[in-house]
Structure formats: C-alpha cells, structure tokens
C-alpha cells in the first residue's frame, strides 16, 4: 500500500439537485490508516458524499481525490482499490452467496480458483456457509449486510466506504464485522464509516466529522472529544442544533 498523502481529499465539493444543495462546499481530508466516522442527521448529505466518492453521482462543482488519484478521471483504478458497503443493497438476488462473491472477485481481477476459494473462506468467516445453496433473495437484511461486507473484503482493498454497515445486523454479526474492520485498519487500510449509532462510532473511530445541511460543522479526533466532559451524543446534538425540550402531550 502507498503511504504518502491522505486516503480521501474532498475540496469545496458541492452537489445540487435543482435549487437544493445536498452537499455544500465540503472540504475534508482523511489520513491513510484512519478509522473515520462521518456523522449527520437524516438528509445531511452523508450518502450523497459517498456516492460522489464512488462516482455514482457527479459533483456539481469542487474536486475529490481518493488514494492520491483524482476522481472521476481515474475512477477505474480507484474503484479497484475500494471496498464498498452501500446503504442500499446492490446484491444480485437470483445468485447464491458463493456465486455472488465469486462474481465480485472475478470483477476485481482475481483468478477463478482464487475467487472461489476466497468466497468460501469469507462465507465461513461471516457464518453464512450453511446458507450457501440459498438465493440471496431469501436472505434477511442482516445476512445481506454480512454478504456485502464479505464482497467488500474479497479483493483486499485499501479504502472502505461503509454506509450504515451494521443496520439490521444482530449483535454477534456486528461484533464480527467490527473486529474485521479494526484488524484491516491495523494492517494499514482506511475506513470511512457513516452510522446513526453514535456508540458504535465512539468505540471504533479515531476521528469524526459531522455534516449538517451539506456543510461540515465539526471535525475532531476522538481523543480530543474524550478530554471534554461531553459524550459524542452531546456534541452531535449541540452542533446540529437539535437540542430542544420536547413538547409535552397531556395524554402521554
């Protein structure tokens, strides 16, 4: 893996849908080997940002570099080195788990035998080997997330883009996925994670950024936040302006 320069560099990134700015002048750098949490309320621009990094959505203006290469000019080379777990499932429902993983491995340039071997090893790792003959259409949401994570790992990427990867996953599966991601970071990979579960971010991430209405409103290391008396939840609520006393209903 390369070690120079940030894994992610976003510069004045904007994405407009008509008159609405989903992402508004986002500038952010994420160092290589960092476990980075990207937080924000619903509709803040988190998923749009990841979609721009994957070249699924083109920015209205601004620029981005991933792993030292400009997107979208070098999109093909960048995508070879990225593992993605999207918020929306991109699985092929009419394939079995082993078929899908082998297909993904082949798409990333692995030989047939190596892709097949890694597919079966990943199915065992994610405790899906007993579902090997089942079509993905019959998988639960948690099983689909596990399979998505397995697909993201099969080519040993340098950068992981994870949009709500633990949503719908049971405690055992989530623990397994967290341990694997932490091990990948120890080996030098970079993880860019969105999650609504702040306790997960607080436990896993080294740095966090908070986006609100398309703008980055805070970025700090977790060690800086731990030196304050406030929890990540307290900081999040304060910076997105959501701290208010709920109205009391007479009948509730």
Q: What is the value of pTM for the model shown?
A: 0.92
Half-sphere exposure of 64 (CA within 13 A, CB side): 28
Structure tokens at 167: 């949503």
Domains of the chain: 8-239 (3.40.50.300)
Confidence tier at 244 by pLDDT (50, 70, 90): low
Q: Counting runs of H as helices and runs of E as strands, what totals does the chain give? A: 9, 10
Q: CA-CA distance, 245 to 97, in Å (whole number)?
A: 47
What percent of the chain has a predicted confidence (pLDDT) above 70?
96
Query: Tell me: the pLDDT tens digits for 115-127?
Result: 999 999 999 999 9
More confident residue, 34 or 1: 34
Across residues 16-25, what is the average pLDDT? 95
Across residues 18-23, what is the average pLDDT? 94
Average pLDDT, the chain: 92
Q: CA-CA distance, 31 to 33, in Å (whole number)?
A: 6
Structure tokens at 6: 């940030």
Confidence tier at 5 by pLDDT (50, 70, 90): confident
The pLDDT of residue 228 is above 60:
yes
CA 154 to chain centre: 16
Q: Label residue 114 left, alpha or beta by phi (over 0 means left) and psi (-120 to 50 means alpha).
A: alpha
Q: CA-CA distance, 76 to 70, in Å (whole number)?
A: 11
Query: Tell me: the pLDDT tens digits for 163-208?
Result: 999 988 999 999 999 999 999 999 999 999 998 889 899 999 999 9
- 48 touches 94 (CB < 8 A): no
Query: Tell me: the pLDDT tens digits for 59-85?
Result: 999 999 999 999 999 999 999 999 999
């Amino acid at each position: 893996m390369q070690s120079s320069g940030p894994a992610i560099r976003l510069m004045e990134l904007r994405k407009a849908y008509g008159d609405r700015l989903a992402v508004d002048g986002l500038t952010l750098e994420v160092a290589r080997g960092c476990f980075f949490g990207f937080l924000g309320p619903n509709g803040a621009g988190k998923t749009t940002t990841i979609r721009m990094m994957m070249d699924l959505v083109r920015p209205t203006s601004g620029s981005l570099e991933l792993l030292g290469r400009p997107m979208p000019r070098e999109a093909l080379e960048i995508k070879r080195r990225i593992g993605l777990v999207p918020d929306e499932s991109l699985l092929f429902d009419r394939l079995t788990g082993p078929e899908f993983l082998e297909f993904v491995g082949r798409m990333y340039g692995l030989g047939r035998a190596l892709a097949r071997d890694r597919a079966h090893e990943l199915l065992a790792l994610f405790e899906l080997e007993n579902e090997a003959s089942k079509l993905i259409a019959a998988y639960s949401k948690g099983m689909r997330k596990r399979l998505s994570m397995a697909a993201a790992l099969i080519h040993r990427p340098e950068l992981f883009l994870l949009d709500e990867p633990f949503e719908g996953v049971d405690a055992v599966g989530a623990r397994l996925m967290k341990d694997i991601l932490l091990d990948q970071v120890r080996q030098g990979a970079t993880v860019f994670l969105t999650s609504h579960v702040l306790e997960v971010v607080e436990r896993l991430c080294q740095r966090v950024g908070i986006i609100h209405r398309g703008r980055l409103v805070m970025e700090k290391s977790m060690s800086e936040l731990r030196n304050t008396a406030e929890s990540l939840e307290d900081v999040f609520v304060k910076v997105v302006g959501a701290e208010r006393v709920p109205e009391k209903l007479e009948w509730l």
